[in-house]
Amino acid sequence: MSDSPLQGRIFDRSRRFEQLSAEIREQVAALRLHLLLPETQAQALEPKKDKDGLTVEGSKLLAAVSKYLSESKAADMSTDAAKRLADGLVLSGFVSPRKETFALQGFDFDGELFTLVDPSFSSADSQSVWAFKEGAIQAGELKRKKTGMMAKFTGGTSSVYVVANDKKKTVAVFDSDVARHPIMVLDVSSGSVEFDAAIPHGVRLTGSMGSEVFGTPSKEKQDEWLNSFINAGATYREAFNLGAQDVKSFYELKDFDMQGNEVSMDKYRGKVVLVVNVSSKCGLTPTNYPELAALDEKYRDQGLAVLAFPCNQFASQEPGTHEEIMEFVKQYNCQFPFFEKHDVNGANARPVFTYLKAKLPGSFGNFVKWNFTKFLVDRNGQPFKRYAPKDLPFSFEEDIKTLLAQQATETS
């Protein structure tokens, strides 16, 4: 199985299509345009409409391809060449076998029916899985939590195929990865998403149509799906550790160092604090760590405290033990303190981050979107500003200098 976030047969076929030669892909693209012509459909394909949309006989489809090769005076007009292009029509998402298969080549065009699934067809079903392919950022099988009396008799969950689409700002739910009709399509542009403990590794989506709870295969997938729902348009809602939002200053919070010792943030009273969730295997690691180390060295004696919080929630990019993490950062000469590896989102989010997210929400609400999100706290323990993962530490050096120039006024 591919490691791609886009799972399912239509995406498997698409990846296989991209592996074909450039010549065949170009031929398929031209063939698709030819088959979309009204006269081609009427005279060659003769599609029939049924509950799943427009269907065409495989033999007529293959004959139309052969005729196209002949009329275009292709170098290879053999039956095998026609079948290769017809396979390309399936792989590219133009048609799909009525009797679905997991095959990625050698489709049966002799006696089978094919559904015209390309959204370009004016009569094609605009709500099939194929209609949500363009703009899809996550797709795969999830467990959907059942509600009401039926849940008692049929079990608490059912398997569904879900597609998060950031172009349409929707989450579409289907019976399968080749379904012609959705169970529902959730508009998440004004909805919210949160972790949910009602189902293993659960994620709750709430919108104008109500709430849906989906169970994911693992904690890593839970984080991945929640992130995709946010990218599709939903706003993150932190449903746990809400008490941390009510504290009056950063100094009231506590965490644990890598040896398991409790550390009060009051230890940093009167300092300007830079809080960062770090990882060792992120693409941002080689650019962020050197600047964090340089900032720490440059401003430590003036009152800057850089605090690193390792987290493995983002694509599992901090998988190592505490010892392995500290061995890794030696190359950057990091002299600032590291805290234990822990979550920054969800039910187990560390209070430091729950508090900072509440006080300084980002574009997606109370949510840390990725590694190396940064929070700056002033000398009075008040959150000052939040910086995105791609904002390198020295890009906000002036903010740090401004805060360092101020005097602490808070009293203990």
Closest by alpha carbon to 96, among 127, 141, 130, 64?
A: 130
CA Rg value for the chain? 27
Choose the catalytic residue: 86, 282, 306, 358: 282
Catalytic (active site) residue 334: no
Give the number of other CB atoms < 10 A from CB of residue 249: 17
CA 5 to chain centre: 7
Task: Identify the sign of the CA torsion 217, 174, 60, 58.
Answer: positive
Give the number of other CB atoms < 10 A from CB of residue 88: 23
Report the residue count for the chain.
412
User: Can you tell me the distance from the alpha carbon of 211 to that of 144, in angstroms, rounded to the nearest whole number?
Assistant: 11
Pairing of strands 136-145, 157-165: antiparallel
58-71 helix and 22-35 helix, angle to the nearest 10 degrees: 110
User: DSSP assignment of 263-277, as one string?
Assistant: EEGGGGTTSEEEEEE
**What is the layout of strands, in order, in the sheet containing 374-377?**
304-310, 272-278, 374-377, 383-387
User: Can you tell me the distance from the alpha carbon of 304 to that of 309, in angstroms, rounded to the nearest whole number?
Assistant: 16
Closest by alpha carbon to 204, among 132, 245, 144?
A: 144
Question: Which amino acids are annotated catalytic?
Answer: 282
